Amino acid sequence: MTDSPTFARNAAEFAGFSLSDDQVETLEAYAAWLGHEAIPAGGLGPREGGRLWGRHVGDSLVFAAGWYEAPIEILDIGSGVGLPGIPLAILWPDTAVTLLDRGGRRTRLLVRAIRVLGLENVTIAKGDAFDVADEWSGLTFRGAVTPPEAVGLASRLLTDEGVAVLGLSRRPERPDRGDDLVSIASGLGLEATLIEVPDSVLGGPAWLLRIGR
């Protein structure tokens, strides 16, 4: 399948949500920003321009599968150039999304992205996830920390009813570390579940880990 906004619609539908035409238009503006500004600035690799929808925008939207309804808030840990936080903020305009990254250059890029997109439900914060002290009802992780670290952070930062979603793998086979992460989570008083995303959604497989109390 050619890389296109179809991946975004597929991802939202897989997660149990839908995208309006206006939301797809905003996602298109974001994908254009990734190509025109984020890649030249080093926020994504130079070869990512041909797979922005399936590998990045759509991949971010499948994180929504961790929730049955739009969460009140999300802290996107190690957001980089806004993945998965910005696509989720577009999907859920009433959700307060905080993009956390410790890199000054990346946070400056995020400020630019939010200005271009006109997103009013997004806050940008510069800092390290391991310094965060308050609790959150929603957390997302897309490669900024190791999976065991993500489980540990979820244990410390989630509210009693909170949910965290971790992007685990884009390989077809069930992740070997998946069962280990479920066991680690259980030992911390958490419940973790692997979510398999079929090839048909993103043009290739994906695996997520949902973590809750």
Strand partners, 195: 208
Name the nearest CA neighbour of 8 among 48, 60, 65. 60
Q: Decide if pLDDT at 28 tops 80.
A: yes
Domains of the chain, by residue range, sit at 6-212
Is the per-residue pLDDT at 1 higher than 80? no
Please state, rounded to an integer, the average pLDDT across all residues of the chain.
Answer: 96
The pLDDT value recorded for residue 176 is 84
Q: What is the pLDDT of residue 64?
A: 98
Tell me the C-alpha to C-alpha distance, in Å, between residue 19 and each of 88, 95, 97, 128, 160: 11, 15, 18, 32, 29
pLDDT tens digits along 149-201: 999 999 999 999 999 999 999 999 999 888 999 999 999 999 999 999 999 99
pLDDT of residue 122: 98
Q: Is the pLDDT of residue 97 over 90?
A: yes
The architecture that CATH gives domain 6-212 is 3-Layer(aba) Sandwich (3.40)
The DSSP H or E segment spanning 126 is strand 122-126
Residues 147 and 168 sit within 8 Å (Cβ to Cβ) = yes
Predicted confidence at residue 18, as pLDDT, reads 96
